[in-house]
Structure 1
Amino acid sequence: MSSPRDLSTPLGRARMLLAMLAVPKLRAGIGRMLAGDGAPEAPDVHGPLSQLDWLGADGQVDDAALRESAEAIALMRSSEAILEVSRLDGIPVKTEESRQVSGRIARIVFERVGAERTLTEGELNAAIAMFAADVALVRRDAVDSGVLERSTDGAAYRLAAD
């Protein structure tokens, strides 16, 4: 099986473009560059626009880079995304953020196996391992945040009722 694709560059490119399009002066600068009128000189516009690796100051567009970003977005919206992205090597350090990520992972697990199911700790660990390296942290966070309920003996887990 091939290793996951590195989607960070094409997805980062798309995220950057959307963020810039949300700022009127950057949006105008992109339009100016696309029209072939050159990059704006103002440092607060020129600096950010110089980060666009797919757009030259002369208006030349790297079609392959844009195509790669469009394909990455399409992939991330598909059911094949899980096969292309690696699992999380780290969970956020802040407790609230960690619990949010862990809760989302637990919900995804139960969306896939069935929300009504009860899983053994081993089954849950195997499912979580598809998403995150620190299985125990995700499992504990999901219980602590109330997303998962654990049996009194700690052997079984189920999705908590909303």
Structure 2
Amino acid sequence: MTTAPDHPAELGRARQLVAMLSAEKLRRGLGRLLTGDGPAEDPSVRGPLSRLDWLGEDGTADVPALRRIADSLALMRSDRAILEVPRLDGIPMKTEESREVSGRIARIVFERVGSARSLGEAELNAAIAMFAADVALVRRDAVDSGVLERSADGAWYRLAG
């Protein structure tokens, strides 16, 4: 039996590699490993490189794992992502990060339903629930950050500006 791909984990692996490639020491250490010149001698390089779970100590790559990562990246760039990737179980704890994520979700909702529309709370909640588990937090953050406007009685919401 095949298990469903863990797209967030695969994307995390891709992000980890890109972050490592942005640091010259790590990039050189990775190159050394991949070309068969042996592991990096510097422990400050060996430690981070050991976290690449698709890369063996001898520089061999787990090709099926790399294919899964590549497939997840391709999926995330496609219009099928909304059907394949689970909704957010948590929103960042820091207020400004939370508001940024919530604002992006609200904008996506209104891009899809029409930016000039007004939505009732139930309709907005249903649309947000496709993206995040904590619907009330997303809605509140989007209003507090000025992305959404709410009527005085809370009956409807619309995209600000």
Q: Is the 8 Å Cα contact of residues 29 and 45 (structure 1) preserved in structure 2?
A: yes
TM-score w.r.t. length of structure 2: 0.92
Over the matched positions of the two proteins, sequence identity in percent amounts to 72
RMSD: 1.6
Q: Is the 8 Å Cα contact of residues 148 and 160 (structure 1) preserved in structure 2?
A: yes
Which whole-Å CA distance do the structure 1 matches of 2:153 and 2:89 have between them? 29
Where do 1:28-107 residues align within 5 Å? 28-107=28-107
C-alpha change, 1:94 and 1:55, in structure 2 (3 Å) is closer
Q: How far apart are 1:5 and its partner, in Å?
A: 4.1
Aligned length: 159
Q: How far apart are 1:94 and its partner, in Å?
A: 2.3
Q: How far apart are 1:98 and its partner, in Å?
A: 1.7
Q: Is the 8 Å Cα contact of residues 30 and 49 (structure 1) preserved in structure 2?
A: yes
C-alpha change, 1:109 and 1:4, in structure 2 (3 Å) is farther
Deviates more, 1:90-99 or 1:18-27: 90-99
Q: How far apart are 1:107 and its partner, in Å?
A: 0.4
Partner residue in 2 for 1:15 = 15
Q: How far apart are 1:56 and its partner, in Å?
A: 2.0
2:56 alignment partner, SS class: coil
Which whole-Å CA distance do the structure 2 matches of 1:24 and 1:117 have between them? 49
Gaps of 5+ in 1: none
Q: How far apart are 1:4 and its partner, in Å?
A: 7.1
Which whole-Å CA distance do the structure 1 matches of 2:93 and 2:17 have between them? 28
1:49 alignment partner, SS class: helix
2:138 alignment partner, SS class: helix
Q: Is the 8 Å Cα contact of residues 4 and 84 (structure 1) preserved in structure 2?
A: no
Which whole-Å CA distance do the structure 1 matches of 2:151 and 2:145 have between them? 15
| AA of the residue aligned to 1:114 | G
2:141 alignment partner, SS class: helix
TM-score w.r.t. length of structure 1: 0.91
Partner residue in 1 for 2:145 = 145
| AA of the residue aligned to 2:102 | S
1:11 alignment partner, SS class: helix
After superposing on structure 2, the runs of 4+ consecutive aligned residues of structure 1 that deviate more than 4 Å are none
Where do 1:105-116 residues align within 5 Å? 105-116=105-116
Partner residue in 2 for 1:159 = 159
Q: How far apart are 1:92 and its partner, in Å?
A: 2.0
2:91 alignment partner, SS class: coil
| AA of the residue aligned to 2:37 | D
Gaps of 5+ in 2: none
